[in-house]
Amino acid sequence: MELKSRDGLARICKFKGVETPALMPVVNPNLIVISPAEMRERFGVQAIITNSYIIWKNRKLREKALKEGLHSMLDFPGLIMTDSGTFQQHVYGDVEVNYLEIVKFQRDIGSDIGTILDIFTEPHHTHDEVKKAIDETAKRGKESLEIKGDMLLAGVIQGSIYPDLREYSAKVMNQLGFDYFPIGGVVPLMESYRYGDVVRSVIHSKMILDPSKPVHLFGAGHPMFFPFAVLLGIDFFDSAAYIKYARDDRILFPDGTRHLKDVKYPPFFSPIFDRYEINEIKEMKKEERTRVLAEHNLYMSLEEIKRIKEAIHEGRMWEYAEIRAREHPRLLEAYREILKYGKWLEEYENISKKSAFFYTGEESLKRPIVLRLKSRARKLSLHRSVIRLKRPWSREREMIPDAEVDTPFGKIPVELEDIYPVAQSEFPFEEEDEIPENVEYVKKEEYEIRKIKMIADYQFGRGAGIALFSGEVQLIKSKNTGKIRNVIVDGKHVASMRAEDGFFSLRIEGAKRLHSHIPYPRLRVVVTDDSAEFNKVGKNVFAKFVIDTDPEIRPGDEVLIVNKNDELLAVGKTLMNRFEMLHFSEGMCVKVREGVEKN
Q: What is the biggest distance separating any 2 CA atoms in the chain, rounded to whole angstroms?
A: 88
Distance CA 84, CA 107 (A): 12
Distance CA 65, CA 78 (A): 16
Distance CA 275, CA 186 (A): 36
CB-facing half-sphere around the CA of 548: CA atoms within 13 A: 8
Note if 83 is an active site residue. yes
φ and ψ of 479, to 5 deg: -70, -30
The one catalytic residue in 83, 235, 238, 402 is 83
Q: Are the C-beta atoms of residues 345 and 368 closer than 8 Å to each other? A: yes
What's the CA dihedral at 281, 284, 287, 292 to 10 degrees? -20
What's the CA dihedral at 381, 387, 391, 395 to 10 degrees? -90
Q: Are the C-beta atoms of residues 103 and 153 closer than 8 Å to each other? A: yes
Closest residue by Cα to residue 231 from 326, 337, 379, 138: 337
Distance CA 204, CA 185 (A): 14
DSSP string, 273-286: HHHS-HHHHHHS-H
CA distances from 424 to 381, 431, 518, 557 (A): 21, 15, 29, 18
Distance CA 343, CA 372 (A): 8
What residues are labeled active site?
83
